[in-house]
Amino acid sequence: RKEVEQDPGPFNVPEGATVAFNCTYSNSASQSFFWYRQDCRKEPKLLMSVYSSGNEDGRFTAQLNRASQYISLLIRDSKLSDSATYLCVGQGAAGNKLTFGGGTRVLVKP
């Protein structure tokens, strides 16, 4: 079983709609999590850090459920520019190792 797993998608989303997807992790010692956004053929860029139970940043909301060992990302009022691959990342207890999920592809269409 992979340490961090994601549904690869793609999630086809009408512009203006809400989309949510999850990421599951197997290492219960993982301290913190991140969502990175990656555009085609580009490097990943930090979208959100997920502390404690979760946080919100504009149209994006991340939730952490430690009991069930998953992290979710919700995007409200989807924009065409939200089309990308979203990578879930777990940070180890020692803070020194980042483990990436395989990514979830989101396609926002007019």
Partner 1 sequence: DGGITQSPKYLFRKEGQNVTLSCEQNLNHDAMYWYRQDPGQGLRLIYYSQIVNDFQKGDIAEGYSVSREKKESFPLTVTSAQKNPTAFYLCASMTVWTGITEAFFGQGTRLTVV
Instruction: Decide: 63 and 51 in contact? Cβ < 8 Å.
Output: no
Residues with Cβ within 8 Å of 67's Cβ and at least 6 positions away in sequence, in order, are none
Q: How far is the CB of 33 from partner 1 (least distance, A)?
A: 9
The DSSP 8-state label assigned to residue 77 in this structure reads: S
Q: How far is the CB of 16 from partner 1 (least distance, A)?
A: 28
Q: How far is the CB of 17 from partner 1 (least distance, A)?
A: 24
Considering only residues 2 to 41 of the shown chain, the ones binding partner 1 according to CB under 8 A are 6, 8, 31-32, 34, 41
For partner 1, the closer of residues 76 and 102 by Cβ is 102
Does 97 contact partner 1 by CB under 8 A? yes
3-state class of 88 per DSSP?
strand
For residue 38, the tally of other CB atoms under 10 A from its CB is: 17
* Nearest-angstrom CA–CA distance, 5 and 1: 8
The footprint of partner 1 (CB under 8 A) covers: 6, 8, 31-32, 34, 41-46, 49, 51, 87, 89, 91, 95-103
